[in-house]
Structure 1
Amino acid sequence: MTHPHDVPLERARALVQRAVDKAEQLGIRGAIAVVGSSGALVTASRLDHGGPGGMGRATSKAWISGTQQIPSTEHLHRMTSLPVPISAGFVGVSPQAIFPGAGGIPILDEAGVVVGGIAASGATVSPFFPTGVAPEVVSADGEPANPEDLLIAYALGVPYVGQHGDDRARWEQRFGELTVAADRSLGMQPAPAATRQAELAWAREICDRVLALALDRGVRVSVAVVDRGADPVQQDRMDDAVGGGVEVAVATAATAARYGMSSHQVPAAYAAATGALGRLHPAPFLPVAGGVPLIADGRVVGGLGVGGADPQLCGELAAAALVEA
């Protein structure tokens, strides 16, 4: 029997990178997430200064488009036109869809089968045209193209279709009656490779070291790098790694970042109070092996977490990745 596969990590990473390139060209900052059709995250990246919260919103929209196999804007229309008990019940049984915003698009394989979903959200990712952006950059084939939907269409290499309503009205608010000829529209033209994402590049390098070490040891894991506040900067799940490793990686990384020690050391440090720590803040908390703090210039700047295999091994992979830095 042939079982379905999620979009491969290599392809998902390439899609996200294209979105990062376009986002930098547009001058917007946020997060881009790819979720497999299984509902498990495959990869996600936060641009520098993207701010907390965007990763969660992008992941929710990507989950909707990847699992419901429709653009999240269509899902939003359905949820707002159904009786409240039905829409609330959907979120009750599918809490991953807690943010049913527009902008998520399904990812198809060569046979046209949905293998995932991709979406963006964050600090300045929106359907509005940012101050200072050149009108040519936010125009596709001579028509307005809002930045959020543009970077997703560009990432997928599909024709631009607005997902957030009336692009023309927002265009006129920003540019007035200005028009851009189709041959001068740059929205779907190649974007320069991003060069101003130092923190993201740092987080990806750490994740890549973990993935390489896991491959050498013959295990499939998920890895996450979070900032000092526990918001994810980079997340990756190896092909066919268990879905639960995604949450374990983020939770152990968050624990290490917030308490400045390896996640498995927290119980000893806080003794009988360990159980209360998880209730102090909404960040995920998991005081088991797998997470290590990331320290630069003598201060904690984030956390690295690994999940999806034996916790002791995950902790070894995280520690080894930092040794190789």
Structure 2
Amino acid sequence: MDHPRDLPLAQARELVRRAVDKAEQLGLRGGVAVVGASGALVTASRLDAGGAGGMARARSKAWISATQQIPSAEHLRRMTTLPAPIAAGFVAASPEAVFPGAGGMPVRVDGIVVAGIAASGATVSPFLPEGVAPEVVSADGEPANPEDLLIAYALGTRYEGQHGDDRARWADRFGDLVVPPEEALGMRDAPRASAQHELAWATALCDAAIAAASAAGLRIGVAVVDAGGDPIREDRMDDAAAGGVDVARATAAAAARFAVASGDLVEAYGTGASSLSTLAPTPILAAPGGVPLVADGRVVGGIGIGGASPEACAAIAAEVAR
């Protein structure tokens, strides 16, 4: 019997890379996430200065598109027309759908939805950035918005606005200006992103963790977070435990926010360790797997590993963080 699989990590990473390239070209800062059809995150990246919270919003919209198998804009339309108790019940039964914003799109392979992709963050939005050239936010000579541009570009599909009236936003900014199709740059090839230094640092750490796990015959999820516990980069190896990346995120956040290895929280805080999660805006886990990341004598983030035994995960995290 054939069982379904999520979009492979390598393919998901390529989608995110293309979105990051287009975001840098457009001057956008935020996060991009790919969630598998299983509902488990496959990969996510936050551009430098992308702002806290964007990754969680992107993950939620991608989850909606992956699991409901429709653009999140259609899901939003349905949610706003359903009776309130039904809409509230859906969110209660589907906590990953807590942010039902537009912009998430299903990813299909051979006609089957295998993932969803979405973006959100500090300046990733349907609104036109200050000073943007009209050619940049035009797709084939038609008005476009930055958020939907970078997702369409990532997928290599024809641009379709997901956030309402692109033409009205265009008119507010550019009046009756018309961009000839041959001058429109919105869907033209973007150069490789070169100014995402924090993301490149986090990606190198995730790559090292995946290489170490592969060498040990393990399948893992890995997360690198900033000092506040917000994710910068997350990856889940093919066929790794679905919950591994959630463990990785929570142990990384624990290490970053409290500046100790996540497995040492109980020793450091005693019986109070169980209450630490009430102090943090992001989930934390007091279990082995996460260690702080230190640069120039200060904690700048944390790395967490999940999906294998806690001891093995902690060993990989410590090795990579050295």
On whether the aligned pair clears a TM of 0.5, the verdict is yes
Q: Which residue number corresponds to residue 170 of structure 2?
A: 171
Q: Which residue number corresponds to residue 235 of structure 1?
A: 234
Give matches, 1:107-122, under 5 Å: 107-109=107-109, 111-122=110-121
1:312 maps to 2:315: no
Q: Structure 1: 5+ residue runs without aligned partners? A: none
Give matches, 1:140-151, under 5 Å: 140-151=139-150
- Calculate the TM-score normalised by the size of structure 2: 0.99
Q: Which residue number corresponds to residue 51 of structure 1?
A: 51
Q: Which residue number corresponds to residue 60 of structure 1?
A: 60
Q: Which residue number corresponds to residue 72 of structure 1?
A: 72
Post-superposition offset of 1:138: 0.7
Task: Name the SS for the 1:149 alignment partner.
Answer: helix
Post-superposition offset of 1:281: 2.0
Task: Name the SS for the 2:279 alignment partner.
Answer: coil
Q: Cα deviation per residue 1:214-237 (whole Å; 9 max; x = unaligned)?
A: 011111100000000000000000
Q: Which residue number corresponds to residue 100 of structure 1?
A: 100
Q: Which residue number corresponds to residue 40 of structure 1?
A: 40
Post-superposition offset of 1:272: 2.2
Give matches, 1:1-325, under 5 Å: 1-109=1-109, 111-323=110-322
Q: Cα deviation per residue 1:31-84 (whole Å; 9 max; x = unaligned)?
A: 000000000000000000000000000000000001110000000001101111
Q: Cα deviation per residue 1:274-304 (whole Å; 9 max; x = unaligned)?
A: 1221212222121111000000000000000
Q: Count how many residue pairs are aligned between Structure 1 and Structure 2.
A: 322
Task: Name the SS for the 2:169 alignment partner.
Answer: helix
Q: Cα deviation per residue 1:4-45 (whole Å; 9 max; x = unaligned)?
A: 000000000000000000000101100000000000000000
Runs of 4+ in 1 over 3 A off after TM superposition: none
Q: Aligned partners of 1:68 and 1:283: how far apart in 2?
A: 25
Task: Please provide the CA RMSD for this pair.
Answer: 0.7
Post-superposition offset of 1:271: 1.4
Q: Cα deviation per residue 1:197-229 (whole Å; 9 max; x = unaligned)?
A: 000000000000000000111111000000000
Task: Name the SS for the 1:249 alignment partner.
Answer: helix
Q: Aligned partners of 2:11 and 2:275: how far apart in 1?
A: 41
- Calculate the TM-score normalised by the size of structure 1: 0.98
Q: Aligned partners of 1:87 and 1:272: how far apart in 2?
A: 39
AA matched with 1:57: R
Task: Name the SS for the 1:199 alignment partner.
Answer: helix
Task: Name the SS for the 2:286 alignment partner.
Answer: coil
Q: Structure 2: 5+ residue runs without aligned partners? A: none
Q: Aligned partners of 2:255 and 2:9: how far apart in 1?
A: 25
Post-superposition offset of 1:273: 1.6
Task: Name the SS for the 1:279 alignment partner.
Answer: helix
Alpha carbons 2:303, 2:321 under 8 Å: kept: no
Q: Aligned partners of 1:280 and 1:194: how far apart in 2?
A: 36
Q: Aligned partners of 1:126 and 1:249: how far apart in 2?
A: 28
AA matched with 1:315: A
